[in-house]
Amino acid sequence: MNSQSVSTFRLQFIFVVVSIIFAILFLRLWYLQILQGEKFLTLSEENRIRLTRVKAPRGLFLDTNGQVLVKNRPSFNVFIIPEDAKDLPYTAKQLAELLPIPEKEIIAKVKKSQRPKFEPVLIQRDIPLSKVAYLEEHKMSLPGVIVEVEPLRYNIYGNFASHILGYLGEINEEQLKDTVSYPGRRLGDLVGQYGLERSMEGFLMGEDGGKQVEVNASGRELRVLSQKDQKPGHDIVLTIDLNIQSLVEEAFRDKTGAAIVMDPNNGHILAMVSNPSFNPNLFAGGISSADWKSLIENSYHPLQNRAIQGTYSPGSTFKIITSAGGLEKGLVNRNSTVFCGGSIRIGNNVKRCWKFGGHGSVTIVDALRQSCNVYYYKVGGELGIGALAKYAMSFGLGRPTGIGLPNEESGLIPTEEWKRKTLGEKWYPSETADAAIGQGFVSVTPLQLVNMVSAVANGGTLYKPMLVKEIRDSDNQLVKEFKPEIIRKVPVKEENLKVIRKGMWAVVNEEHGTGSKSRIEGLNVAGKTGTAQVIKLKSKIKPKMLPEKYRDHAWFVAFAPVDDPKIALVVFVEHGLKGGDAAAPVAKLIFEGIFNKGSELTKKSPTEAPTPLNL
């Protein structure tokens, strides 16, 4: 082989080798860029790009006059980005020394998260500014730890209207599965769990936004690559009047029970108080174990909304129903009398009036004024439990009102059929006598009673109670308006309702009226007292000597002014003993405040709002 042939061979060999190398490189690049290109592009972007969720602020709550009751405030929240926190135990240990959360819990939160590792995991909400500053200063030594600002719920007046407004809590597993009611929600998100925060969740929650940002190796944001704006939730305008609600809360401050003020002409709830109450701000960033334990172990049950969830015997307030039935059936009229000798025998039972020796011959107005039991034993017995139940239900008793708050109780209006099916027993005439004066099996909520008295006041129209007047967007544009809704006209003629109103006026304004402690000079108030028995005493023990839990409940229902009703109310004092002594004076304070009649509660200013909490 000559030298030229050798050179040619070498060149050919080198060409083949180089070609093979290029072929291998080409195939490798083809594999990486074509077959695996999407994967590595994603990995590349994840290493330098962060997808950040921008939480939408919830809508506000406003009173009927536009005063803000619940808003949002900035909350500094701590997150861990799992893929950046290479040494999770170390990071958790450092955070545990700074935050009120155990190291193991931090690790568990990160591991429990089912989101991609480049997405932040919430560790702690609402940390103080001093700790925010510390984390920013030590950012380089805590890779993967970031602080984000998010809107947090803030009830401006603390406990104010807490049972109406409600509170937020972390979304639970059942709610997470309900993607229709909770679209786009994730583990750790706060959603309404009580009150209107819960029932109006669909309007209050907005649409979250997001942004794609470029970050450096330490996780610091360099620039925003793209962004989707968040959309705030809708604002809820209530029927509640800030000033009236404040007035009622002040009047009821040292009582346990409920009080409700309603406009009898449209069903608007102007105030609804359940006492004791709670501070929804405790739940805003996640309630502590100690605070939760304090609430649920409190023997007075502050989380119970007694206005709609407490069911109690209505006592003598139910005599309004028995009166309506007796008048409509023609068993009694304005001038007819029934004799009360202090007791009456019904079968083998002797039923007694509260007044020893009795009231003598009384008309229906007298019977209402003095709350004569024997009168109503007799009228109720002639009506029968079927008719009593019919009239009670027509006034909305024994069934939910549909006010729009979660977990409203129905109470009970008993019938012969109910007792047979429930207890397997027949109905006795003595039980009809008990029902006629609001005792025995009968139970109602305070809301049902104020709705009943509103129908008496306005001439027989039973309205659906309302708490929400309007829904508006963040630009104050009307989204939805809630108009008064009539449930029914009660089956009682106006002339008979007029007799009942006369009797209720006498309760407050005439001699020996049981509601005289609600009398106000210059204001015509009509009312009815009620004392609901808790236990039946076999011996004569002074009621005040009984343990509190065995004492009778006190009721008072009322409306004013009589000739042009603007306000209807119910006052229920749990274990308050007599309605005339415990509940009527509270009603007087409320009426005086609303109508500016010189109440102690309005000496500062009848329109002064409560002082916002400095939280």
Residue with tokens 């005289």: 516
E-assigned strand segments in 26-167:
49-54, 61-62, 68-80, 121-124, 145-155
Residue 585 host element (H or E):
helix 584-594
CB 286 within 8 A of CB 170: yes
- Alpha-carbon gap, residue 573 to 38, rounded angstroms: 70
Task: Please identify every residue annotated as catalytic.
Answer: 316
244: closest CA among 558, 518, 611, 610? 610
- Written as one string, the DSSP assignment of 501-547 is HHHHHHHHHSTT-TTGGG-BTTB--EEEEEEE-SS--SS---GGGS-
Residue 322, amino acid: T
Nearest to 236, CA basis, from 207, 262, 201, 208: 201
Helix (H, G, I), strand (E, B) or coil at 54: strand
Give every strand in the sheet of 269-275, ordered side by side.
Answer: 269-275, 257-262, 567-573, 553-560, 526-532
Output the six-digit token pair for 297.
Answer: 């172990």
Burial of 257 (0-12, 13-18, 19+ CB in 10 A): buried
- Say if CB 360 and CB 494 are below 8 A apart: no
- Rounded distance between C-alpha atoms, residue 125 and residue 434, angstroms: 55
CB 556 within 8 A of CB 517: no
**Judging by beta carbons within 10 Å of its beta carbon (0-12, 13-18, 19+), is residue 249 exposed, middle or buried?**
buried
- Is residue 276 within 8 Å of 302, Cβ to Cβ? yes
DSSP state of 320: H
Q: On the CB side of 121, how many CA atoms lie within 13 Å of its CA? A: 24
**Residue-wise over 523-534: b if at least 16 C-beta within 10 A, else e?**
bbbbbbbbbbbb
Between CA 440 and CA 463 the distance in angstroms is: 27
Distance CA 602, CA 590 (A): 10
Cβ atoms of 594 and 567 within 8 Å: the answer is yes
Q: Rounded distance, CA 25 to CA 45, Å?
A: 24
